[in-house]
Amino acid sequence: MSEHKDFLRTIVEEDLKSGKYKEIITRFPPEPNGFPHIGHAKSIAINFGIARDYNGYCNLRMDDTNPTTEDTKYVEALKDAVEWLGFEWKDNVRYTSDYFDKLYEYAIELVKMGKAYVDSLDQETMKEYHGTVTQPGRRSEYAERSVEENLDLLERMKNGEFKDGEHVLRAKIDMSAPNMKMRDPILYRIRHAHHYRAGDKWAIYPLYDFGHCLSDYIEGVTHSICTLEFENNREVYDWVLDTLKLEPPRPYQHEFARLGINYTVMSKRKLLELVNGNYVSGWDDPRLPTIAGYRRRGYTPESILNFCDSIGIAKANSTVDVAQLEFAIRDDLNTKVPRVMTVLDPLKVTIKNYEGSEELEASYYPEDVPKEGSRKIPFSKTIYIEREDFSENPPKGYFRLTPEQPVRLKHAYIITCKEIVKDADGNITEIIAEYNPESKSGSDTSGIKVKSAIQWVDAASAKTVEVRLYDRLYKNEAPEGLEDLNPDSLKIIKNALIEPAVITERPDERFQFERQGYFYADPVDYTDENPVFNKIVGLKDSYAKKEKAPRGERKPQEKKVQIDGEVEPMSEAEQALFNRYTTELKLNNMVADILARDKQLSDFYLEAISLSTVNPNPVGLANIVTNEVARELKDKSKDELKFNPVQIGELSKMVEDGTISNKIAKQVFEEMVKSGENPAQVVEAKGLIQISDPAQISPIIDEIIEKNPDNVEKFKAGNTKLLGFFVGQVLKATGGKANPQVVNKLVAEKLQ
């Protein structure tokens, strides 16, 4: 079940507890008139997630009541999206068109009850009669038709005897209702169009307000969950079901806030305009917010679902920063994908004192990623580096290669620039360098200190690849139309160079190109002859830097959490807090900034310090408050939390004392969110005390070393990065309970 119980799950639990329903049945009912987007992903996660959490099931139903816009390709795209996100629907896919006969029977019943009539007003008059928010509407004179006349006209409408718009079937409710949706809403309209499933049987089609609630009832749906735009439609939903006096149980509609993301449009009309106008390459263009687009770009199902979970389920519409979605994919890929070297803008480097060639062993993963895997990187006299990694006249703080400053080639040697070769126009075409043979990575005895390592590829063995650099499709935070499109949303590099193992060994489909970002082998255009990689996301959000607000102004959706970009100046009170946090309590600037600007979070932190009897370390406490507690306070007040500041102080102290690890602390915190129990009680009840006794840890290390002789041999041969692999395996074997510091020390000793 989801970590946080949202208001929808609270409703479901109350309905189960009261006996209102014996089984929870939800549905995801998209209209097949376009490809599903990230907003649909949120709805999928909610509807299928709630059904899963309460041992029910969710139907996938196509709301196919408008034959002029629907297509089987959209049906397939919707099915594919649900499956890709990891969900399964009950039985076969359902369609509103499956129920056309039954819906028509319900319409006849309403007519016979005097609750529906055939109206023949033209569209303009009908609109005039509808009234306004401040003025009641006026009922059509056709509402006085007899039941017999209405039934006759409705039958003839169904049989195709009238033109489009000549008649409609309306509910007879209240033309003076404050909710204008209740002013005799239209139930059926004439459409002389071929239906992709029903063929030409029908000349009338039900509108959403009539077809949706009855389809829910027919399927036995208990909770009809939709977005806030349908809030006013709920009265119509209830009226139809109540008026027909249908046997219980019946469904009830509940609304949640739809997903809005800055720099993004999710209007199907606008997305269709982009596709049909060839502003993008299709519904799966990696710049589109469609699930197919994210999938082709390289997003994972886990990242999409984690994003949906992180933004929560709210009752009020708001706009989410796209940086939050980008964080979700970075966070997911960080512990999964291999790191490799590529050069997008090559600059030739000739190492004049190097002869021959060799293969360098390099791990695909950094030490903090508990995965194994390595490759051989060819190295020879001529290599290519990224052009921006050399500067003839470096600015202050530039740590890469310069005429005076040596640099390390990652996984290889330290080189020094000896000569710069330029063309007739003064452009740098080549660097002549020397390497230090004693500076090989893993066995450096040169004594040379360098400030950074840069990526490179071997000229003789590097593979040429096409790299597609995607940026945001729109240049404005709140785009309106085509005029807001970002002209630089796609840059294609045809001759990028990449280390050969990426192509010849294909260790994965997704990679982190060192210092460039995360990339994905394009599932459509990638071939062995022409490898193509899509940029999924950069290593950090630098977009705010491009779109800085004028001095003194703050962009409407600008967030203080963005990595780059400017925020408004602190108030005097905030600055005073910031100064106290950084000087007196020794917090780093970023944590101090977060606390100083958020009064609720700051009050919580200060209360945890002042009321605590265990005197937690202010730095460790601040980390818990600005991460775990901040997440809980995002949509709640402090009074709504089940835990209190004193308990968080105790939790921080347990980490500080080594009673539990940081990883275990997260588990304990999750339990505190649900139950409000003291951390010590949680740790004792679940047996989560950290293992620091070497006598308990040593046998586990011995077993892991015995199972991985190849990695032991590689470590002893100089691949010291494998230390992280062994540490990770031990932590995994102990469920995160082993003390990482003790494990590191013992593993290092045993591998000597």
- Residue 529, class by beta-carbon neighbours within 10 Å (0-12 exposed, 13-18 middle, 19+ buried)? exposed
| 3-state SS track over 132-174 | CCCCCCCCCHHHHCCHHHHHHHHHHHHCCCCCCCCCEEEECCC
Is 315 a residue of the active site?
Answer: no
Ordered DSSP codes for 315-329: SS-EEE-HHHHHHHH
- Residue 151, class by beta-carbon neighbours within 10 Å (0-12 exposed, 13-18 middle, 19+ buried)? middle
322-334 helix and 301-311 helix, angle to the nearest 10 degrees: 130
Kind of pairing, strands 252-256 and 223-227?
A: parallel
Q: 593: which 2 tokens?
A: 């900034």
Catalytic residue among 90, 138, 156, 268: 268
CA-wise closest residue to 576 among 604, 599, 555: 599
Ordered DSSP codes for 77-120: HHHHHHHHTT---SSS-EEGGGGHHHHHHHHHHHHHTTSEEEE-
Q: Are 283 and 275 in contact (CB under 8 A)?
A: yes
Burial of 622-656, coded b for 16+ CB within 10 Å and e otherwise, reads bbbbbebbbebbebeeeeebebbbbbbbbbbbbbb
At 129, is the secondary structure helix, strand, or coil?
Answer: helix
CA-wise closest residue to 177 among 130, 113, 119: 130
Which residues lie across from 454 on neighbouring strands? 409
Q: How many CB atoms lie within 10 A of CB 219?
A: 18
User: Strand runs (DSSP E) across 217-366, as ranges?
Assistant: 223-227, 252-256, 259-261, 318-320, 339-340, 342-343, 346-351, 357-363
Task: Report d(CA 328, CA 306) in Å as an integer.
Answer: 7
Catalytic residue among 79, 197, 258, 663: 258
Q: 355: which 2 tokens?
A: 């002869």
State in Å, rounded, how far the first CA of the chain is from the last one.
Answer: 45
Is 721 a residue of the active site?
Answer: no
DSSP summary character for residue 69: T
Task: Report d(CA 337, CA 539) in Å as an integer.
Answer: 13
Who contacts 442 (Cβ-Cβ below 8 Å, separation ≥6)? 718, 719, 720
Is 31 a residue of the active site?
Answer: yes
Task: Report d(CA 349, CA 417) in Å as an integer.
Answer: 9
Q: 436: which 2 tokens?
A: 């230090």
Catalytic residue among 13, 31, 367, 656: 31
- Residue 685, class by beta-carbon neighbours within 10 Å (0-12 exposed, 13-18 middle, 19+ buried)? exposed
Residues with catalytic function: 31, 258, 268
